[in-house]
Chain A
Amino acid sequence: MNKTINQKAWFLVLPVLVLVAFSAVIPLMTVVNYSVQDTFGGNQFFWAGLEWFDELLHSERMWDALGRQLAFSAIILAIEVPLGIFVALNMPKKGFWASLCLVLMSLPLLIPWNVVGTIWQIFGRVDIGLLGHTLDKLGISYNYTQDFLAAWATVIVMDVWHWTSLVALLAYAGLQSIPDAYYQAAKIDQASRWKVFRYIELPKMQGVLMIAILLRFMDSFMIYTEPFVVTGGGPGNATTFLSIDLVKMALGQFDLGPAAAFSLMYFLVILLISWVFYTVMTNLDKRDGL
């Protein structure tokens, strides 16, 4: 059958192009323009060249925020991934309890970020919060507004509470797709529980775990609302992550030039990670023949 070559369908993409240009490309171009200039308001700009980039690259403030950000992402990944797998392995495989588990696990994922922040902000308070009050009664010194360790523990536990379900649900989906024949073969070979996990379950979950790790990394790398609501970036700068610092710079101090340069560098890191994410995913799909 001869196909007529007709490229008119491309015009159907035009609305999306216009929308993306309006909501993303043009604002981004404006940020690039801001990043090489200085302004004192009133839409008056003065050429600054690469000054802001230079200043930021040598500023302890940005590197510290980046360090905290990477530490935060590393810690939550180190907790959420093994914990998510553990939960998935212990969830019922079918029946009423499986459905109930799935619904319960999904609940935290449905709560908006600022609400999660508020829940934990109150939960951790020593005067009216259940967690804070109980810890205080047990004689454990806990005050996330003044103590650096308590603030970090709170934001980390909050993130684990909010997002471990995602890893667990993805891992569960991966586990469900393993045919029974694999387990039967393992039983015949008298494989131990550890070996079943190591040689059957883990390799079969590789694809979904990759998605889970990359999703969680990206999300935690861009986290803003939850720590902002709970600690406001404090005590001091202890929980000031990249996005919190950026907002402080752009809206608090109204330093549009440095903030634009900061956003561009932040954007480049996110772009790099997104590209790695996309490449790894498409290559895994190709390898699995999807």
Chain B
Amino acid sequence: MDWMAWTLPTAIFFGVIALLLLTFTVLAIRFPETPRTGILRIETTRGDRLFITLLGSAFINLAWLGLVGADQWYALILCLIYAVAVFRWV
């Protein structure tokens, strides 16, 4: 795997994403759900909301890096707030 140039942070990053996908798959099997319509006026399932959260988080991190620059960890806190909002209202 040398050619993939792994680092610990990126390994943790992918590990977390894999874990999230696994958790949501298990959740979907154990607790099936019906899609619901939120403030975006589109039907979403838990998986859709996870996707919206992850994609939005990427943009939040980039915006933080571009506009604020320092203390990237605060962007992560912002992402968590965003995640809660997405799962609550979208």
* Chain B, range 58-77, C-beta contacts under 8 Å to A: 58-59, 62, 65-66, 69, 72
Q: Let me know if B62 and A29 touch, CB within 8 A.
A: no
Tell whether B33 is near chain A: CB-to-CB under 8 Å.
no
**Complex Cα distance A102/B62, Å?**
46
Q: Are A53 and B65 in contact (CB under 8 A)?
A: yes
Pick the residue among B3, B42, B65 that contacts A50 (CB under 8 A): B65
Asked if A161 CB lies within 8 Å of chain B CBs, one says no
Say whether A32 contacts B72, CB under 8 Å. no
CB-nearest residue of chain B relative to A27? B4
Q: A192 on the interface (CB 8 Å rule)?
A: no
- Which chain B residues border A58 with CB–CB below 8 Å? 66
Smallest beta-carbon distance A120→chain B, Å: 36
CB contact under 8 A between A36 and B42, given known A43-B2, A50-B72, A57-B66: no
Q: Are A53 and B55 in contact (CB under 8 A)?
A: no
Q: How many residues of A contact B (CB 8 A)?
A: 25
Contact of B3 among A37, A43, A47, A268 (CB under 8 A): A43
Q: Is the interface of A mostly helix, strand, loop or mixed?
A: helix
Min CB distance B75 to A, Å, is: 10
Q: Are A33 and B6 in contact (CB under 8 A)?
A: yes
Q: Which residue, of B5, B6, B42, has the highest number of chain A Cβ atoms within 10 A?
A: B5
**How many Å from the CB of B64 to the closest CB on chain A?**
10
Across-interface contacts of A271 in B (CB, < 8 A): 55
| Closest Cβ neighbor of B69 among chain A residues | A54
Asked if residues A57 and B7 are in contact (CB atoms below 8 Å), the reply is no
Q: Are A37 and B7 in contact (CB under 8 A)?
A: yes
Task: Say which size band chain B's interface belongs to.
Answer: 20 to 34
B89 lies within 8 A of chain A by Cβ: no
Give the Cβ gap from A207 to chain B, nearest Cβ, in Å: 16
Q: Within the complex, what minimum Cβ distance (angstroms) separates B89 from chain A?
A: 16
By beta carbon, the residue of chain A nearest B59 is A268
- What CA separation (Å) do A211 and B7 show in the bound complex? 41
A206 at the interface (CB under 8 A from B): no
Known: A36-B9, A268-B55, A271-B55. A29 touches B4 (CB 8 A): yes
Bound complex: CA of A50 vs CA of B58, how far in Å? 13
A286 to B41, CA, bound (A): 13
**Chain A 15-45 interface mask (CB, 8 Å, partner B; 1/0):** 0000000000010011011101101000101
- Rounded to whole angstroms, the CA-CA distance of A283 and B40 in the bound complex is 12
Chain B: which residue is nearest A279 at the CB level?
A: B42
Partner of B58, one of A34, A57, A268: A268
**Complex alpha-carbon distance, A29 and B5, angstroms:** 10
Q: Which residues of A contact B5 (CB under 8 A)?
A: 30, 33-34, 37, 39, 43, 45
Cβ of A197 within 8 Å of any chain B Cβ, yes or no, is no
Q: List 15 A-B contacts (CB under 8 A).
A: A29-B10, A30-B4, A36-B7, A37-B7, A43-B5, A45-B5, A53-B65, A54-B66, A57-B65, A58-B66, A265-B62, A272-B55, A272-B59, A275-B51, A283-B42
9 closest A-B pairs by CB: A57-B66, A33-B5, A45-B5, A30-B4, A33-B10, A268-B58, A279-B42, A32-B10, A53-B65
B residues with CB within 8 A of A: 2-7, 9-10, 13-14, 42-43, 51, 55, 58-59, 62, 65-66, 69, 72
Known interface pairs A57-B65, A271-B55, A283-B43; 11 further A-B residue pairs with C-beta atoms within 8 A, sorted by A's residue number: A29-B10, A30-B4, A34-B5, A36-B9, A37-B5, A37-B7, A39-B5, A45-B7, A47-B7, A275-B51, A275-B55
